[in-house]
Structure 1
Amino acid sequence: MALARWYAKGFLKLLALAAVGAAAVSVPSSAQGKTGWELCNQTSYVIEAATGRPDGEEVIVEGWTRLRPGQCRTAIQGPLKNGVYLVFARSSKAHRGGQREWSGEIPLCVDTNGSFAVENPSSCASMGLEQRGFAAVRFDKGFGSTPFKETDLYNKGGQSPENAG
């Protein structure tokens, strides 16, 4: 149901934006026999990431994959089905200088206080969850890697990326 709504509400336009770099992540392809979705932290912050994966017409959202600076971890075991997956990441609350977010425009629910796995409900608040904007990432080879970089676009306290320092 949630995926059908996205397609009906211009999800393809969001996919095009993600493909040209408007999303906060990129997906380099490498044929090294890898499977699954690897997230890599190329920042100086500890990052926590939540991922969304299609399950029929629903989306299963899971978090948090914790990444130390320089660390890579598999967030979703593969091989991945071809299609669109979703990601939202944030710097640890312990980071000085405010929390940073690597996000997109697709609203999904997360539990901001701890590990979670949820089929995306129609109302986040009714389940004690909060809504966050996820970025779309397309996979077509059964695997992929998403790096988070300090130079990527991110949101900091509602500021535009150019003004967030």
Structure 2
Amino acid sequence: MLRPILVALATSLVLAPQVRADFRICNNTASRVSISLAYTDGQAWVSEGWWNLKSTNCETLLRGPLAAQFYYVYGMDESGGEWKGKAFMCTRDREFRIEGRQDCYVRGFDRTGFFEVDTGRDAKNWTVQLTDPAKPGTGR
């Protein structure tokens, strides 16, 4: 009697959809956007880039459950528009993975302002939606 219940339970676990736990960014703009991401792993700061997102596409930047509550994003589109903030991290023009956020210029990097993303204390995944800034007179 117990065996059919275990088989049914095992089958339901195998057929259950897998839950994704990732940090994603969606580009909801009309142009391509280059993205950089910064975060702490609990011991050190890391900044990484560049992901190039086509218009109306999404990209997973980090796979797996979120390890921190705060993440930092910088984005720039083809016409020079930016998504930036006041949290300064190290970057460079070409693909990079930089440990630490101090002394960017001294270490040969650029210093770029990222905006903060608060995912909450218990979030296991998060998606950032980039949109075009409101244009005067458009009502957005």
TM-score w.r.t. length of structure 1: 0.65
Deviation at 1:33, TM superposition (A): 2.6
Partner of 1:143: 125
Deviation at 1:58, TM superposition (A): 2.2
Counting only pairs closer than 5 Å after superposition, residues 152-163 of structure 1 correspond to structure 2 as none
Find runs of 4+ consecutive structure 1 residues off by over 3 angstroms. none
Task: Structure 1 unaligned segments of length 5 or more: list them.
Answer: 1-31, 153-160
Contact 1:82 1:142 survives alignment (8 Å): no
Identical amino acids, percent of aligned pairs: 25
Greater strand content: 2
20, 43, 53: which one pairs with 1:67? 53
Distance between the aligned counterparts of 2:101 and 2:118, measured in 1? 23
Partner of 1:119: 99
Distance between the aligned counterparts of 2:101 and 2:123, measured in 1? 29
73, 84, 103: which one pairs with 2:70? 84
Distance between the aligned counterparts of 1:78 and 1:151, measured in 2? 30
Contact 2:75 2:82 survives alignment (8 Å): yes
Partner amino acid, structure 2, of 1:145: T
TM-score w.r.t. length of structure 2: 0.76
1:30-71 CA-to-partner distances (Å, cap 9, x unmatched) read: xx9321111000001110111011122421100011100011
Counting only pairs closer than 5 Å after superposition, residues 9-158 of structure 1 correspond to structure 2 as 33-92=19-78, 95=79, 99-111=80-92, 113-139=93-119, 140-151=122-133
Contact 1:88 1:134 survives alignment (8 Å): yes
Root-mean-square deviation (Å): 1.9
Task: Structure 2 unaligned segments of length 5 or more: list them.
Answer: 1-17
